[in-house]
Chain A
Amino acid sequence: MFRTSRKPRAGRKTGRRSPLASVSLIALGLLLSGGAYALVSSSTAVADTSSTATQATVEEGEKLFQANCATCHGLDLEGSDDGPSLIGVGSAAVDFQVGTGRMPLQAHAPQAPVKPVQFTDDQVNALAQYVASIAPGPSIPEDQYLDAEGDAARGAELFRVNCAMCHNVAGAGGALTEGKYAPALTGVTPSHIYEAMLTGPQNMPVFNDANLTPEDKRDIITALKFQENSTSVGGHPLGALGPVAEGLFLWIAGMGIIVALTVWITARSN
């Protein structure tokens, strides 16, 4: 086995390859295999139109896949007890999962967390092309939908209806069941936001192009980026978490200052 990771994490992958360790991953595999089914079937709606993959990148991707992914996802993407099948997930899913560092998975957890990305952009692309070359699936979005220059008002409305209940109206994230969570959306690249909507990673539902058209997705990205990049008019946003953060801040900072001042006022002067 050879490592392609630029920031190797000692022992992790070896650990995962050990047959003993894989026992602990069976439960996780079961959890994820449900998602695999979903990913597979969602692919039927969107065909992979990208044909920019050269034979060379596909071959490089295959090597990377065999070395880093095949243990769980199978030598032919067929999946195993440890990981779902990747047939038909498309390049978008690979770009999202690997490009945000969620894959390769490091440890058993309710859901795969964002981590430092383990591969170069070229390597991620190669992996994506390889997976897409096996079976068609949703592909990496085109740049015209990622420019964040759509209709922010419409995007914000679509975001509130389709996304805000999990990710919070300000994109600050929120809780799901059993320790899962919808991550915060600040600092996420437009293409990853797009891919997440398209592929429905982990427990996020799929928003295929019949539900939210590419133009809709562009508007949503526009609204998110507007919110992220515009000045917070009221001052420090306190995490944009709503009344809980405000109440806590009032009790700790506001009341703290006031009580300190009452002590000063009533303390006898020297």
Chain B
Amino acid sequence: MSTSTATRPETSVEKKSGGFTAAASNYLDERTSISAVVKEFGRKVFPDHWSFLLGEVALYSFVVILLSGTFLTFFFQASMAEVHYDGSYVPLKGVEMSAAMASTLDISFDIRGGLLMRQIHHWAALLFVASIGLHMMRIFFTGAFRKPRELNWVIGFVLFILAMAEGFTGYSLPDDLLSGNGLRIIDGMIKGIPLVGTWISFLLFGGEFPGTAIVGRLYTLHILLLPALVLLFIALHLVFVVVHKHTQFSGPGKTQQNVVGYPVLPVYAAKAGGFFFIVFGVIVLLATFFTINPIWNYGPYDPSPVSAGTQPDWYIGFADGALRLIPPHLEFVLFDRTWSFNILIPLGALGLFIVLAMIYPFIEAWVTGDKREHHILDRPRNAATRTAIGAAGLTFYAGLWAAASSDIIATHFKLTMEGVIHALQFVVIAGPFIAYFITKRICLALQKKDREIVLHGYESGRIIRLPGGEYIEKHEPIDEYQRWKLVSYHDYKPLMIRPNSRGKISVGQRARAALSRWFFEDRIAPPTRGEIEASHHHEDHVEIESSHQNH
């Protein structure tokens, strides 16, 4: 979307008057036919909602990462050759470390603005993954992944995983004590994979852990392969945003066939372009005043020491937490081979979680059987089961995430770490069910409330005494624009099982019907015109009656 804004300002060929702008535009158009692009996209409409900007935060922080990262590459040496540090930081003077660590320290202490750039890069990376996460939550809870956007959800999901990979490879580059222990954990996890684990680790590290190859290899991934993939998938992602046009929330005048909002030129360009600078500015603000990853505290990697509170960056936390929550002794020797279920169970659970989240759009499409395009977003309450599933998934993720800081939770809330871990084991296993149930009930209650408001108006706060001595609160009807927001949603009913052409009910049919029942049996239909009229009629009647009695 905003990638195309950069080329636009100088291209208004419509200008008939001469002058430099017109000449330049003419020159360009005769060689690029760019007027067609301006015609096509210059007045393209984007709807306005705060949550629609979360994806932009991700895009912009990625641009910041590219800019700051390029600066860092000019100074960073991705080498594990041993050097004796001879820079400005006294408590590491003369200490043997890798060139990677020493050059990172030089960036931090001996290059003007270097530490600022390092901190910009790292804060932007944390923000990048966080905004992707929030953006995904928005997409999920509003149903924006429905046809025709299922594939774009998958592309976005791949981007999320690529972002985590970018983050982890970057975290490991300075070769400090924290990242070295992180790599050690990865090594241990890989070794736990049956059949191929030992060899994958051996190949990855170029021999035994830690070897002298890993930093250089991760560097290639970090600055070449992964960013190229991220860029490719961002481009795909944005192409589809253009092809599909942006979704919009339901509202008066907003239909499945239109997009209501602001045109790219000028309003959207000003807002989105300005927002890039705002995101960049906030990242620089964080980097100016808040330390991130002070590698000089950690010192160079050495296999023997470790720091209390050794954790990965937040986005890998869920995986680290999963490793922590496994109870003891889940490792067996079978057929003369070692089966490390203490590693396989978390790996499998995370893999399953990720795959389920990635294919969720297809599952829901299969259950509803709805083949229509959906451009109007759901309010989360109106898709109660989906919202509840999302809440359950988030609870599962949050439990794992919190587990990665079990030791810090224990010390800061004066708890025992064993207690924290047991509690989080409960959260991860039982929490999703509880969250599912509570969320679904809340959604249905909100839907009922909406229905009440549509049928009987909102509570005005005005109390009226009826002639019989009874007090009632006057309900005011809502206007048609507000009402439209509350009634314009899709509603599905559970699937009835029907025999197929050969008179049989297939297993797939049964499964689909069961899922459909689970999704939609508690449905609350939007009020119809008839119902609204009936209810108004009834209320008028009451009112007439009461005013009549007043005489």
Is the CB of A233 closer than 8 A to any CB of chain B? yes
Is the CB of B286 closer than 8 A to any CB of chain A? yes
B298 touching A169, Cβ below 8 Å? yes
Say which one of B51-59, B183-191, B207-215, B378-386 lies at the interface with A.
B51-59
B311 touching A244, Cβ below 8 Å? yes
From A153, A165, A170, A251, B294 is in contact (CB under 8 Å) with A170
A268 surroundings in chain B (CB, below 8 A)? 48
C-alpha gap A177/B415 in the complex (Å): 10
Say which one of A11-19, A21-29, A55-63, A155-163 lies at the interface with B.
A155-163
Q: Shortest distance in angstroms between A9's beta carbon and chain B's nearest beta carbon?
A: 20
Is the CB of A234 closer than 8 A to any CB of chain B? yes
A254 touching B294, Cβ below 8 Å? no
Closest A residue to B294 using CB positions: A234
Q: Mark B122-154, 1 if CB is under 8 A from A, else 0.
A: 010011001100100000000000000000000
Is the CB of A247 closer than 8 A to any CB of chain B? yes
B95 touching A161, Cβ below 8 Å? no
B53 touching A177, Cβ below 8 Å? no
Is the CB of B91 closer than 8 A to any CB of chain A? yes
Q: Mark A223-235, 1 if CB is under 8 A from B, else 0.
A: 1001100001111
B286 touching A254, Cβ below 8 Å? yes
Q: Indicate whether A265 sits within 8 Å of B275 (C-beta atoms), given known contacts A156-B91, A226-B90, A247-B317.
A: yes
A266 touching B53, Cβ below 8 Å? yes
Q: Indicate whether A234 sits within 8 Å of B131 (C-beta atoms), given known contacts A157-B95, A258-B57.
A: no
B310 surroundings in chain A (CB, below 8 A)? 242
A223 touching B91, Cβ below 8 Å? yes
A174 touching B53, Cβ below 8 Å? no
A261 touching B308, Cβ below 8 Å? no
Q: Indicate whether A246 sits within 8 Å of B126 (C-beta atoms), given known contacts A169-B298, A263-B50, A266-B49.
A: yes
Tell me the B241-298 residues at the A interface (CB within 8 Å).
271, 274-275, 278-279, 282-283, 286-294, 297-298
Q: Shortest distance in angstroms between B350's beta carbon and chain A's nearest beta carbon?
A: 18
Q: Indicate whether A169 sits within 8 Å of B115 (C-beta atoms), given known contacts A174-B411, A238-B291, A258-B279.
A: no
Is the CB of A257 closer than 8 A to any CB of chain B? yes
Is the CB of A166 closer than 8 A to any CB of chain B? yes
C-alpha gap A265/B290 in the complex (Å): 26
B314 touching A234, Cβ below 8 Å? no
Q: How large is the interface on A (under 10, 10 to 19, 20 to 34, 35 or more residues)?
A: 35 or more
A259 surroundings in chain B (CB, below 8 A)? 50, 134
B309 touching A266, Cβ below 8 Å? no
B404 surroundings in chain A (CB, below 8 A)? 244
C-alpha gap A116/B261 in the complex (Å): 63
A241 surroundings in chain B (CB, below 8 A)? 309, 408
Is the CB of A181 closer than 8 A to any CB of chain B? yes
A258 touching B294, Cβ below 8 Å? no
Chain B facing A: main interface SS: helix
Is the CB of A143 closer than 8 A to any CB of chain B? no
Chain A facing B: main interface SS: helix
A254 surroundings in chain B (CB, below 8 A)? 123, 126-127, 130, 282-283, 286
A155 surroundings in chain B (CB, below 8 A)? 91
Q: Shortest distance in angstroms between A252's beta carbon and chain B's nearest beta carbon?
A: 11
Tell me the A77-93 residues at the B interface (CB within 8 Å).
none
Interface residue total, chain B, C-beta cutoff 8 A: 71
A250 touching B411, Cβ below 8 Å? no
Say which one of B299-307, B361-369, B495-503 lies at the interface with A.
B299-307
C-alpha gap A267/B283 in the complex (Å): 23
B407 touching A157, Cβ below 8 Å? no
A262 touching B50, Cβ below 8 Å? yes
B126 touching A247, Cβ below 8 Å? yes
A164 surroundings in chain B (CB, below 8 A)? 305-308
Q: Shortest distance in angstroms between A241's beta carbon and chain B's nearest beta carbon?
A: 6
B278 surroundings in chain A (CB, below 8 A)? 261, 265
Is the CB of A152 closer than 8 A to any CB of chain B? yes
A266 surroundings in chain B (CB, below 8 A)? 48-50, 52-53, 271
B407 surroundings in chain A (CB, below 8 A)? 174-175
A173 touching B308, Cβ below 8 Å? yes
From B287, B297, B305, A240 is in contact (CB under 8 Å) with B297
Is the CB of A8 closer than 8 A to any CB of chain B? no
Is the CB of B69 closer than 8 A to any CB of chain A? no
A166 surroundings in chain B (CB, below 8 A)? 308
Residue from A160, A248, A259 with most neighbouring chain B CB atoms (10 Å): A160
Q: Shortest distance in angstroms between A222's beta carbon and chain B's nearest beta carbon?
A: 9
Closest A residue to B54 using CB positions: A262
Is the CB of A221 closer than 8 A to any CB of chain B? no
C-alpha gap A226/B92 in the complex (Å): 12
Is the CB of B104 closer than 8 A to any CB of chain A? no
A255 touching B123, Cβ below 8 Å? no
C-alpha gap A71/B131 in the complex (Å): 60
B134 surroundings in chain A (CB, below 8 A)? 255, 259
Q: Shortest distance in angstroms between A95's beta carbon and chain B's nearest beta carbon?
A: 26
Is the CB of B98 closer than 8 A to any CB of chain A? no
Is the CB of A73 closer than 8 A to any CB of chain B? no
Closest B residue to A237 using CB positions: B291
Residue from B109, B134, B290 with most neighbouring chain A CB atoms (10 Å): B290
Q: Indicate whether A169 sits within 8 Å of B317 (C-beta atoms), given known contacts A153-B94, A160-B177.
A: no
B115 surroundings in chain A (CB, below 8 A)? 233-234
Q: Mark B95-128, 1 if CB is under 8 A from A, else 0.
A: 1000000000000110000010001000100110
A242 surroundings in chain B (CB, below 8 A)? 178, 307, 309-311
Q: Shortest distance in angstroms between B51's beta carbon and chain A's nearest beta carbon?
A: 7
Closest B residue to A170 using CB positions: B297
For the complex of A and B, list the 3 residue pairs with the smallest distance between their C-beta atoms, beginning with the closest.
Answer: A174-B308, A247-B314, A234-B291
Q: Which residues of B contact A (CB under 8 A)?
A: 48-54, 57, 90-95, 108-109, 115, 119, 123, 126-127, 130-131, 134, 177-178, 271, 274-275, 278-279, 282-283, 286-294, 297-299, 302, 304-315, 317, 404-405, 407-408, 410-411, 414-419
Given contacts A160-B177, A175-B407, 8 further A-B contacts (CB under 8 A): A153-B92, A160-B305, A169-B177, A169-B299, A175-B411, A233-B108, A250-B127, A250-B286
14 chain-A/chain-B pairs, Cβ below 8 angstroms: A169-B298, A172-B308, A174-B407, A226-B90, A234-B291, A235-B290, A240-B294, A241-B309, A244-B314, A247-B313, A250-B286, A258-B282, A261-B282, A262-B50
